[in-house]
Amino acid sequence: MFTATDFIPKKYTSTIANGNFEWSAPSNIALVKYWGKKENQIPANPSVSFTLNNCKTITKLGFKRRDISPEASGSLNMPNNSFSFDLLFEGKPKEDFKPKIQKFLERIEVYLPFLKEYHFTIDTQNTFPHSSGIASSASGMAALAMNFMSLEKVLNPEMTEDYFFQKASFLARLGSGSACRSIKGNVVAWGKQANIKGSSDLFGVEFPYTIHENFKNYQDTILLVDKGEKQVSSTVGHDLMHNHPYAERRFTQAHENLDQLITIFENGNLEEFIKVVESEALTLHAMMMTSMPYFILMKPNTLQIINAIWKFRNETQIPVCFTLDAGANVHVLYPENVSEKVLQFIKDELIVFCQNGQYICDEIGDGAIAL
Q: Are residues 134 and 266 in the same domain?
A: no
Q: Among 160, 189, 209, give the residue marking a domain's end.
A: 209
Write down the pLDDT at residue 98: 93
Of 277, 334, 274, nearest in space to 345 by CA = 334
- The verdict on residue 89 lying in a domain is yes
Q: Are residues 25 and 168 in the same domain?
A: yes
Q: Are residues 150 and 14 in the same domain?
A: yes
Domains contained in the chain, number: 2
Q: Are residues 252 and 180 in the same domain?
A: no
Q: Are residues 193 and 292 in the same domain?
A: no
Write down the pLDDT at residue 68: 66
Q: Are residues 240 and 334 in the same domain?
A: yes
- The mean pLDDT values, 10 residues at a time, for the chain of 371 residues are 92 96 97 96 98 97 85 53 93 92 97 98 90 78 98 97 98 97 96 96 97 97 89 91 97 98 98 98 98 96 98 98 96 98 98 96 97 97
Angle between helices 137-155 and 98-108 (to 10 degrees): 50
Q: Are residues 74 and 172 in the same domain?
A: yes
DSSP 163-191: HHHHHHHHHHHHH-GGGGGSSB-SEEEES
- The verdict on residue 253 lying in a domain is yes
AA identity, residue 307: N
- The verdict on residue 254 lying in a domain is yes
Kindly state the helix (H) or strand (E) to which residue 8 belongs, with its residue range.
Answer: none
Q: Among 209, 228, 251, give the residue marking a domain's end.
A: 209
For the chain, the straight-line distance linking the first and the last C-alpha, in angstroms and rounded, comes to 33
Largest CA distance in the chain: 76
Q: Are residues 55 and 168 in the same domain?
A: yes
Write down the pLDDT at residue 75: 46
Q: Are residues 198 and 50 in the same domain?
A: yes
Distance in angstroms (rounded) separating the CA atoms of residues 57 and 84: 22
Q: Among 162, 184, 209, give the residue marking a domain's end.
A: 209
Q: What is the dihedral of CA 236, 240, 242, 245, to 10 degrees?
A: -170
Alpha helices in 97-160 (DSSP H): 98-108, 137-155
Name the DSSP class of 231.
Answer: S
- The verdict on residue 314 lying in a domain is yes
Write down the pLDDT at residue 274: 98
Distance in angstroms (rounded) separating the CA atoms of residues 346 and 220: 12
Q: Are 136 and 75 in contact (CB under 8 A)?
A: no
- The verdict on residue 214 lying in a domain is no
Q: Are residues 294 and 353 in the same domain?
A: yes
- The verdict on residue 370 lying in a domain is no
Q: Are 169 and 204 in contact (CB under 8 A)?
A: yes
| Domain of residue 32, CATH code | 3.30.230.10
Distance in angstroms (rounded) separating the CA atoms of residues 121 and 347: 42
Distances (CA, A) of 353 to 78, 278, 333, 359: 52, 19, 17, 10
Distance in angstroms (rounded) separating the CA atoms of residues 204 and 180: 5
Q: Are residues 243 and 285 in the same domain?
A: yes
Q: What is the span of the domain harbouring residue 331?
A: 219-363
Kindly state the helix (H) or strand (E) to which residue 314 belongs, with its residue range.
Answer: helix 300-316
Write down the pLDDT at residue 277: 98
| Domain of residue 347, CATH code | 3.30.70.890
Give the angle subtended at the CA of 276 by the CAs of 271 and 279, to the nearest 5°.
120
- The verdict on residue 371 lying in a domain is no
- The verdict on residue 369 lying in a domain is no
Q: Are residues 150 and 280 in the same domain?
A: no
